[in-house]
Amino acid sequence: MNRDDGLEGKVAVISGGGSGIGRALAVAYARAGAHSVVGYLPSDPHDASATVSAVEAAGGRCSAVPMDVRSFEDTERLAQTALDEFDRLDISVAAAGILRRAPLAEMTDQAWDDMMAVDLSGVLRVFRSCSTRMTGGGAMVATSSIAGGVYGWEEHSHYAAAKAGLLGLCRSLAVELAPRKIRVNTVIPGLIESPQSLDAVNSLGREGLDAAGSIIPWGRVGNVDEAARTIRFLTSDDSAYVTGQQLIVDGGLTVRWPS
C-alpha cells in the first residue's frame, strides 16, 4: 500500500507502551508502515508482550523495553534501543503517566514529587534522550490531559499541574528544536476510556465514564484508538508545518455551553 504521510519505515519510541494510548499508538504506527520501541514499567499489571503481539499482527516490528521514566539511565537505554535494533529514531511520544487522587489537605510532598517526576519530568527525560539521537529531523508529542491542559480537577491538583506544565515544556522545545527540524506538539485527550480512566479509585471508573458520555456533544467518551490516530497525525508529514501546538481530542466536551 502506498502512503503519502511519510511514516513508512520510520521508527517511533513510545514511553508507556504497555497499555492504553501507548499500545494503541504502536499498532497505529504498524498499520502506517512504521516500527516502534515501547517502554513499559515492569511493575505495571499490563503485559507489554501483548503490545508486541498486536504490532506484529498489524504487520510491524516492535521491541519492548522495561524502564522507568524517573530514571535518565532508563530513558537513555530506551532511546538507544531504537538505534541498536532499527538504526534510526524519528519519532518520540511520551505517553507514560500516573494518576492519583489526593485532596489538598492530604497532599504530601512525596505524592507531589512522585507525580511531577513521572508526568512532567519523565516527559523531559524521554524527549532529552530521544532528541539527541534524532539526526534527520523528527517529531515529538507529549500526552497532556483536559485536566490541567484545559480544566481544573478537584482532588487532582498535582496531576493537573503536571499536565499543564507539559504545554509550556512543549512550546519551548518547539522553538529550541526547530533549527534541527524537530517538531514538538502536545495532544490533550478528553475523557478517553483506558485502563487509567477505568480506575474508580483515582479516576472516574466505569460508571463515571458512562455518565460523562451524556454531557459530551459526540454522545460518548473517546477510545484509545482515536487518541492514538491523532498522535500519529501529529508525527506524520500530514502535519509537517505544525509545531508548538496543542490539539484537543474530546468529542466537543470543552466547547459545549454549560446546561
Phi, psi for residue 6 in degrees, rounded to 5 = 75, 10
8 A C-beta contact, residue 15 and residue 69: yes
Residue 232's domain spans which residues?
A: 11-191+224-252
29 catalytic per annotation: no
Reported pTM: 0.94
Task: Write out the three cell numbers for 194.
Answer: 483506558
> Is residue 219 domain-resident?
no
CATH (domain of 232) = 3.40.50.720
Catalytic residue among 40, 151, 159, 241: 159
Which amino acid makes up residue 214?
S
Supply the Cα-derived Rg of the chain in whole angstroms. 17
What are the residues whose beta carbons fall under 8 Å from the beta carbon of 121, sequence distance 6 or more? 69, 70
> Is residue 42 domain-resident?
yes
186 forms beta bridges with 142, 246
8 A C-beta contact, residue 22 and residue 47: no
Walk along the chain (259 residues) and give the pLDDT tens digit of each residue. Answer: 446 799 999 999 999 999 999 999 999 999 999 999 999 999 888 889 999 999 999 999 999 999 999 999 999 999 999 999 999 999 999 999 999 999 999 999 999 999 999 999 999 999 999 999 999 999 999 999 999 999 999 999 999 999 999 999 999 999 999 999 999 999 999 998 877 776 777 777 788 888 888 899 999 999 999 999 999 999 999 999 999 999 999 999 999 887 7
Task: Write out the three cell numbers for 6.
Answer: 511519510
Structural domains of the chain, count: 1
